[in-house]
Amino acid sequence: MTGRNDGRAEDHGRVYQASGDQHITEHHHHGPSWSGPDSVRHPAVGRAPAILRDRDELMERLRAAVTAGAGNGVFVLHGLGGCGKTAVAYTIFRYAVNEADRLSLWVNASDHASLRAGMLAVAADRGAGEGELMAARNGLRAAADLVWDRLDHSDRPWLLVLDNADDPAVLRDGGWLRTSPRGTVLVTTRQAAHHWWPAAELLHVGVLPRAEAAQVLCDLAPGTGTVEEAGTVADRLGRLPLALTLAGGFLAHQVIEPWTMAEYGRRLEDRRDPIELIDQGAGAAANDSRHLISGTWQLSLNALVGQGLPDATPLLRLLACWSSDPLPLSLLGGVDLGPELPSDRVELTLRGLLDHSLTELVAGGAVRCLRTHGVLLDSVARGMPDDQRERLAATAAGLLASALPEMPERGTRDARLNLLTSHVLVLLRRVRDWSTVRQPTAEAAVACALRLVTAQHRAGDYASALAVANRSVELAGPLLGEDHLLVLRLRQRVGKSVDRLGRLAEAADLHRRVLADLERAHGADSPDTLTSCLHLSRPLTWLGDTAEAVALMRRAARGRTAQLGPWHPLTLEARACLLELPPGAELEEEAPGGPGVVAACRRALGPDHPITLSAELNCALALFNTGEPAEALPLARRALAAHELRYGAEYPITMASRSLLGSVLAALGELSEAVEQIETVIEGRERVLGPSHPWTLVAREKLATYQGLRGNA
């Protein structure tokens, strides 16, 4: 299906009118409610700070920003990674909720996908409807405008925390950072340049003074040493709060052979590690937070080895193949690295990492997750021996592949997809950067990206599919070569997502270039080349280039028949596409074969297969567009009933089926029922697509026509 039934046969109007509506019916697949973050009312910080040291001045300024009547303010907490910006934000968040009677909202702003998901969850919290949210997710409505409209009209004053905004362009692009009289915005970031924050009050968060840093260690590991010894260790750790937290956790959780604070300090002094290098250096290297933490994690790993957990090192290295975003714990259920980390040791080893603060559990979500700090992961990845990268990358790719559907169902949404996105992309980046990774492992990593994009697309999340596909192409092209089939398939997905978002001319251009590259690199009759023929034919049809579209459809049908046989699902799919042509000589030639295509689909695939349902709807459309509404009516009724049963009443294909039924009924003079059906279509499309979407407008035009005919009857 490509969806050209609306607005075409009724008055034989423009091809664009017909194609636009048919576009919706075929390809905008929406399943269960899209899943964003589990909560925006609880800070996603993993472990909450017990006591905030040496931040009195900062907290006084922020408390004033959340008093009654305060608003229109943006405050930016900036400083070195791990210096405690999030701890400050967490503390003021809790103060705003518990003492200032202010609604507080927390969003991860580390990347565009996380920011977009979190801000749309904020809009939902502040009363945005499902239709508005669906339109924003699919790029049919300005997402940032929706969010800030809901914040501006909030019934309660609020504090909005945008955490980990280390790339300010993520906030700038799309206009996500704004002010509102109803609330205060607090941003945490490593980026201190004033030009990124022109309307904000910048508040620096630095490392702790020596005395306060020593006290943090004593708070976390009481009884392990004197305040002076703790001060010496704090100096070795650069007095960075994150490093202090890890060191204190290490000391507090030693069981078999507990270390004193002084012994911990001697270990730091004796070992050549990144922390020592930072302590000795000056300038730019001293500002790299990865080096400030790397010594601590290595010390913790050494201690775990001493406690009989040498498996901790390979497990942490495996985690370093992925992202610092929450990682579903279920992904680790299949870990088996052979003698270095057998599957029956993973649980015990993970507990060791947790006990030594090398990773953290993320509480409160529907999916149980693990989160490891990105700086730690990057430093682990940098120090990974070359001869281990291939095996670890292959394992990481295999675990991701097992969690991603090989053939995702249309309309099916899985909450884990959003959680896995960053891990797929980070693995691709690691593999690209590691020269010792072999070609099969690189292909496995790219195949994970293709599975993810396909699943997002078939779930109807076209904006996310487009973003991931574009980034995957950027990473996979240099890795495998631009002509590799996996890279070209990712480019096909880019074109399909652009198509579904309604950018038809751009989609046609993208598909045309992919088709040319497939023909050159893989041959004119390769299966992927024939698939690209169908991909290109669809926007061309909607743009009015029917002749070229028909030629491409027929080429795909002939090629698939020759290669796969006449009854293969892909062959039947191509044949069914030919029934979607606009009124004209080409359709007159193809329409008589429609019932045969439907019969073949039922026989080969079954009556409820998606291709069979599409063929029935296309056949009804072809009969209607060739002036046979009476013959089209039973097929149109069955198509509506079948799609509603399979996908629900507001699924786009279901609404397109209802729209076609309304047109058929109107042509047969059943105007009252026709009006009723189109009114239902308009209600659904306004909720899902918005009142100004072209296909909503087409439905309104049909309704006006049918109401006029009914009034004149």
- Tally of CA atoms within 13 A in the half-sphere of 296 that contains its CB: 35
| Residue 27 confidence (pLDDT) | 43
What sections of 543-582 are H helices per DSSP?
546-564, 569-577
Name the amino acid, one letter, at 307. Answer: Q
Counts for the chain of helices (H) and strands (E), in that order? 32, 8
| Residue 691 confidence (pLDDT) | 82
Report whether 217 contacts 232 (CB < 8 A): no
Report whether 632 contacts 607 (CB < 8 A): no
d(CA 578, CA 586): 9
> What Cα–Cα distance (Å) separates residue 177 from each residue in 50, 73, 79, 173, 296?
30, 11, 19, 9, 35
Report whether 312 contacts 319 (CB < 8 A): no
| Residue 443 confidence (pLDDT) | 98
| Residue 535 confidence (pLDDT) | 97
| Residue 80 confidence (pLDDT) | 64
Q: Token digits for 2? A: 């490509």
> What Cα–Cα distance (Å) separates residue 318 from each residue in 160, 399, 655?
34, 11, 46
Report whether 234 contacts 213 (CB < 8 A): yes
d(CA 542, CA 427): 38
Domains of the chain by start residue, with CATH: 15-30+565-712 (1.25.40.10), 56-204 (3.40.50.300), 210-308 (no CATH)
Helix axes 569-577, 594-605, angle to 10 degrees: 160
| Residue 208 confidence (pLDDT) | 85
CB neighbours of 616 closer than 8 A, spacing ≥ 6?
598, 601, 635, 638, 639, 642
| Residue 196 confidence (pLDDT) | 79
Report whether 690 contacts 141 (CB < 8 A): yes
| Residue 375 confidence (pLDDT) | 60
Report whether 91 contacts 46 (CB < 8 A): no
| Residue 185 confidence (pLDDT) | 96
**Is the overall model pTM greater than 0.85, yes or no?**
no
d(CA 145, CA 439): 44
d(CA 216, CA 572): 68
The list of the chain residues with pLDDT below 50 reads: 1-4, 7-20, 22-33, 272-292, 295-296
